Chains A and B, each alone.
Chain A
Amino acid sequence: MTAVQTPRVDSSAEASAVSKLVERVKRVVSSNPSVLPTVAAIVIFVGMVIYGEVAYGRIVQYNTLSNLLINNAHLIILAVGMTFVILTGGIDLSVGSVIALSSVAGVMLANAGWSPWLVMLLMVLIGTAFGLASGILIQYFNVQPFIATLAMMFLGRGLAALLSTQPERLADDSPILWLGEQFKVIDGEKVNDVVVTPGVIIALVVVLVAFFLLHRTRTGRTVYAIGGSESSSALMGLAVPRTKVLVYVISGTLAGLAAVVYTSRLGIAQNITGIGWELDAIAATVIGGTLLTGGYGYVLGSVVGALVLGLMNVLITRDGGIPPEMTTIITGGILLVFVLLQRAVTSKRHT
C-alpha cells in the first residue's frame, strides 16, 4: 500500500531506488524461497494499480483506496481465517454459508428487539459453533476437511433458508449499522477523502492479532508444523489435535465476525448472501502465497490477495465491457493460474 502512494520523484533517483528495492527483494527471496509467491502477489497488486490508473484513471486516490478497504473488510477477515486452515493443509468451504446464516439470524434477532451487542456476539458465536463442529468432525472422526466443511456449508445454507428466504432489512436506526458508518480521517478535495469504518478497523485488528498469533506464538508454529507434516508434529509432541480444531474454530469465528462487518455495511441479509465467498477467500489466500498443501504462507500475503480480488472487481466495473456474470469465471481462472504456479514452484523445490 505504501509503495503505491510514494510521490513521484525525478527519473534517475527513482530508477536507483527501484533497483535498490529489487536487490533487497532478491536477497530476501534467495534466502527464503517460500516468500516468492507473496512477493509475486504484491507485484501483481502494484501492477494492477498502475494498469488501472493508466487505463481508467482515478485509482491512486484517497477515496478509491479507502473504498477498496471498506468494501473488502469482510473478505480480508475471511481470508485471514482461511489462511490458518490452509496452513494446516485443510480447507474450509463453509464460510460463505456461515455468513448467510449468521447475518440472517442476526438481522432477525435485532429486528425482534434484542440488544445489538448481544446480537453481534451471537452472530460471531454462530460462526464459532460451526467451526467447532467442523473441527471436531475432522480431528476426532477422521472426516476429510472438504467433506466436513461441505456438509457444514449446506447445513448453514439450509438453516438460513429455514429462517427466511426474503431479504431481511435492519431498521434504519439500528446501532449495528454504526459499524458500517464512514468516518473521515483526512479531508481531501471534494469527495477525495480518506475514510474508514469501524469494520475496516476490526479487519485491521484481526490481521494484526492473526499476524502475532501465527508468527510469534507457539500455537502459530504448531499450525505451520502440522501443514509441514502432521505425523512429525505429533511425534514431536506438539498439540496437534487441539490446534487442528482451533484453526477451524478461528475460521468459523472470523466468518461470524465477517458477517457482522458485512451486514453492518449493507444493512440487508438474505439466505443467498455469500454464495461463492469460500472461493474468494481461498483465492485470496492462494494468491497471497499460501500453499494449498499447507506449511507455507503469510497472513499479510492473504490480505494482499484479498485486495487483489477487490481491485479486480473495481477494474471490471470501471471497464464496463465485461459482463458481471464473468466475475466468478475470472476469479476461478485467477485461482487456477495461481494453483498451477504453486504446483510448478513446489515441484521444482522437490527435485
Chain B
Amino acid sequence: MSTAARSSWLRELIRKPFFWGLIAIVALLALNVVKDPNYLAFSVNPTNGNLVGNLIDILRASAPILMIAVGMSLVIATGGIDLSVGSVMAVSGAVSMVVMKDAGQSGSLGVALGAMGLALLVSAVLGAVNGVLVAYVGLQPFISTLIMMLAGRGIAKVITEGQNTSASNEAFRWIANGFLVGVPVVFLFAIAIVIVVGLVVRRSALGLMIEAIGINPKASRMAGIRPSGLLLTVYILSAVLAGVAGIMSVGTVMTVDVSRTGYQMELDAILAVVIGGTSLSGGKFSIGGAVVGALLIATLDKTIVFLGISSSATPAFKAIVIVVLCLLQSERVRSWFVQRRKPPQGRMTSSLAPVKQENQEVTA
C-alpha cells in the first residue's frame, strides 16, 4: 500500500512540467558542490542573526526574475509576449533613483515610498501603452513590446540624462539588502507578491478567462469574456511587476545603470516560463512552474559566474537552454519519443496540435 502510494505520488511529480526544472536545479547545485564541497553550507552571521550562504544568495537573486516570470506567464497565457520587461525595469530603476537623488540624500521612508510609487506608476503607464496597442489597436504583441523594449531603454536614458545615477536611502536599500528573521526581505517580498497574484488568478475566474483568450479569442468573446480589458490588465500587471523587479535590482547597488539594468531580462522571463512547462503558444499557465523556472535561472546565473565564466556570456547558455526546451515542446521531437515508447497516448499529442493556427489568430 505504502509503496504504491509513494510510486503514484512520484509519478504525479514526474508528470508535472516543472519536474525537469527541479532536476536541473539539483544538477547545477551538485556541479557547484563538486567544485566546492562547502557550497551548500549555511551559517548564521553572529552579529545580526542573518543567514548567509550561497543558497541565500540564489534566493536573493531570484526575486526580480520571479517578478517578471509571473507577469510574463500571464502575458504568454493570453497568447502574447512582453519583450519590454527588461527596459521597464531600467525605467523604473531610473525613475526611483532620480526621484531619490532630487529629494536630497535624506534617508526618510517617505522619500523611498514616493520614489517606488512613482516608479511603479510610470511602469504601469508603459504597460498600459503596450496593452492598448495589443488589445484595442490590435497590433501583434511582439512588435508593440519590441518597440517598447528599445524605446524604453531610451526613455530610461532620457530620465537620467544618459548617466548612471546613484542615490542613497536606507529604507529603499533595506528592501533589496535587508533581512527579516534571517531571510532576505527581497525574497519574502517576491514570494508574497507571487502568492497574492497566484491566489487572485486561481481563486477567481480571472486565470480561466486569461487562458480562454489564449486558446481562442473569438470563442471566448462569444462566451461573454471581454478580451480587451483583460489583455490591458495583463500587460499593465506585467509592467508593474517588472517595475518591482527594477526597484529590487537597483536597490541592491543603489545605482541605475541605464544600459545594463534589466538588460536581456526578457530572455530570463521567457526562459522561466518555458521551464515552468507553459507552452509559448498560450492558453495555459502555471505560477508554480514560473517559480521553479525563476529559481533555476538564478541558480544557473550563479553557477556560471561560480565556474569562472564571464557573466556577459550567460545569455549564450540560456539561449541554448531555451532552444532545447522549445525543441522538446515541438510536435516533431515528441513524436520521436512517442514512436519509441509506444504507450497508449492520445492525450499528450492532442494538447500540442493546434499550436500554430491559434497563435496566428491572436497576433493577426
Q: Which residues of A contact B (CB under 8 A)?
A: 91, 93, 137, 140-144, 146-148, 150-155, 157-159, 161-162, 165, 271, 276, 279, 282, 292-293, 323-329, 331-333, 335-336, 339-340, 343
Report whether B319 and A151 are in contact in the complex, using a CB–CB cutoff of 8 Å.
Answer: yes
Give Cα A273 to B266, complex, Å: 19
CB distance from B98 to the nearest CB of A (A): 14
B158 lies within 8 A of chain A by Cβ: yes
Report whether B315 and A323 are in contact in the complex, using a CB–CB cutoff of 8 Å.
Answer: no
0 or 1 for each of B301-327: is its CB under 8 Å from A? (1 = yes): 000000001101111111110110011
Report whether A141 and B316 are in contact in the complex, using a CB–CB cutoff of 8 Å.
Answer: no
0 or 1 for each of B95-123: is its CB under 8 Å from A? (1 = yes): 00000000000000000000000000000
Report whether A271 and B320 are in contact in the complex, using a CB–CB cutoff of 8 Å.
Answer: no
Which 9 pairs show the lowest CB-CB distances between chains A and B?
A: A158-B316, A332-B151, A325-B157, A155-B319, A158-B315, A161-B312, A328-B154, A154-B315, A329-B154
Report whether A328 and B319 are in contact in the complex, using a CB–CB cutoff of 8 Å.
Answer: no
CB distance from A336 to the nearest CB of B (A): 5
B239 lies within 8 A of chain A by Cβ: no
Select the stretch in B171-179, B223-231, B286-294, B328-336 that faces chain A.
B328-336
Report whether B326 and A162 are in contact in the complex, using a CB–CB cutoff of 8 Å.
Answer: no
Report whether A162 and B316 are in contact in the complex, using a CB–CB cutoff of 8 Å.
Answer: yes
Which residues between 204 and 242 of chain B lie within 8 Å of chain A, taking CB atoms?
A: none
Q: List 19 A-B contacts (CB under 8 A).
A: A91-B143, A93-B146, A137-B327, A141-B330, A146-B81, A150-B267, A151-B326, A161-B315, A276-B150, A324-B162, A325-B157, A325-B158, A326-B158, A332-B150, A332-B151, A332-B154, A333-B151, A340-B137, A343-B137
Report whether B310 and A154 are in contact in the complex, using a CB–CB cutoff of 8 Å.
Answer: no
Q: Which residues of B contact A (CB under 8 A)?
A: 81, 83, 133, 137-140, 142-144, 146-148, 150-151, 153-155, 157-158, 161-162, 264, 266-267, 270, 280-281, 309-310, 312-320, 322-323, 326-327, 330-333, 355-356, 359, 364
Give Cα A147 to B142, complex, Å: 10
- Chain A residues whose CB sits within 8 angstroms of the CB of B316 once the complex forms: 154-155, 157-159, 161-162
Report whether B147 and A335 are in contact in the complex, using a CB–CB cutoff of 8 Å.
Answer: yes
CB distance from A291 to the nearest CB of B (A): 11
- Chain A residues whose CB sits within 8 angstroms of the CB of B267 once the complex forms: 150-151, 154
| Contact for B315 among A141, A157, A276, CB less than 8 A | A157
Give Cα A299 to B319, complex, Å: 31
Report whether B154 and A158 are in contact in the complex, using a CB–CB cutoff of 8 Å.
Answer: no
Give Cα A93 to B319, complex, Å: 13
- Chain A residues whose CB sits within 8 angstroms of the CB of B319 once the complex forms: 151-155, 158
